[in-house]
Amino acid sequence: MKGVPRFKVVEGWEKLPAGYVHKDVDGVAVDSQDNVYLMTRQDARVIVYDREGNFLRSWGEDIFTPRTHGIAIGPDGMVYSVDDGDHTVRKFTSEGKQLMIIGTPGKASDTGYDGKSHGSVKRGGPPFNRPTDVAVAADNGELYVCDGYGNSRVHRFNADGTIIQSWGEPGEGPGQFRLPHGIGISPDNRVFVTDRENDRIQIFSRDGRFLDMWTHVQRPTDIAFDKDGLVYVSELWWRVGHRSFTNGKIRHDLPGGVRVLDLSGNVLLHWCSADREAAGNFVAPHTLCVDSRGDLYVGEVTRTFGVSRGDIREDAHTFQKFERY
């Protein structure tokens, strides 16, 4: 399993029951048994599969808004969800029993956000204003939450949901963010934040001290780590004519994809293609995770980012498994 990884798409892996659909998959995580948890958006529920793609259960239809945004699994098997539609992070058992909620449903913190553009955020604020992702520390269960669309902060909580600290402000300097979107804790205990609209990844100590940044990524949406110390980053599509905070007007189509790096930031593998709808390629990669065997799972917000705009077909993929070989 060492060295540069190689992957092949596993077509037909997901055995979705009749009557189930998922138009966007905005979060994916695996537990210690390699069961796969999908957070789906418009359908607003968690779908659970075993490693072979057999459906096990679903839950959350009566809890989540249509703007779910992320999922993580703690070392004890508990499941954590992020819902930017009601400004909450929730904790569940693997069967969907709610154990804890952080944030007040429906109540956003005051950051100057206009409710439309993340560029309107004027200041960092307390939890939450449209949070985007959560990571759970393996050693003590601390939670690290990206508060991205309507805020520009990372919040750190202890395992019972008590706030410990927050850091970040809107901007482009070290420790500032333009939509902190995904978060993960590396095997060497650093906190990685995908600073999406700044086209970079920022790296911090567990107590929020800025350490480094990687700028050789494109609109990074999520980050994951495997047991070999490899780093996996999902990257969103830049359309022609859009404007990047760091790179100005986009003059050439830049497809979304997946990038694999080592812990020093060296790129080992990068794949993307303008043939977005083909199996094994990507429309709008939003989330990813790696199981114990090194297989990769990628969820996409295909409806939000492509179908709704009329340039991607209705039945285009929103979730794919890639086998490592």
Answer yes or no: is 6 within a domain: no
Query: Does residue 176 form part of some domain?
Result: yes
Task: Provide the residue-wise pLDDT of the chain in tens; the chain has 325 residues.
Answer: 467 899 999 999 999 989 888 889 999 999 999 999 999 987 889 999 999 999 999 999 999 999 999 999 999 999 999 999 999 999 999 999 999 999 999 999 999 999 999 999 999 999 999 999 999 999 999 999 999 999 999 999 999 999 999 999 999 999 999 999 999 999 999 999 999 999 999 999 999 999 999 999 999 999 999 999 999 999 999 999 988 888 889 999 999 999 999 999 999 999 999 999 999 999 999 999 999 999 999 999 999 999 998 889 999 999 999 999 9
* DSSP, res 269: E
How many CA atoms lie less than 13 Å away from 36 in the CB half-sphere?
A: 30
Give the pLDDT confidence of 82-115 residue by residue, as tens digits: 999 999 999 999 999 999 999 999 999 999 999 9
**DSSP-derived secondary structure letter, 254:** B
Classify residue 116: in a domain, yes or no. Answer: yes
Per the confidence metrics, is the pTM higher than 0.95? yes
Please state the domain count of the chain. Answer: 1
CATH code of 142's domain: 2.120.10.30
278 touches 272 (CB < 8 A): no
In a domain, 194, yes or no: yes
Token code pair at residue 100: 């804890």
The verdict on residue 202 lying in a domain is: yes
| 3-state SS assignment for residue 25 | strand
Does residue 4 fall inside a structural domain?
no
Q: Is position 209 within any domain?
A: yes
Q: Which domain holds residue 293?
A: 11-324
Q: pLDDT digits over 11-51, tens only?
A: 999 999 898 888 899 999 999 999 999 999 878 899 999 99
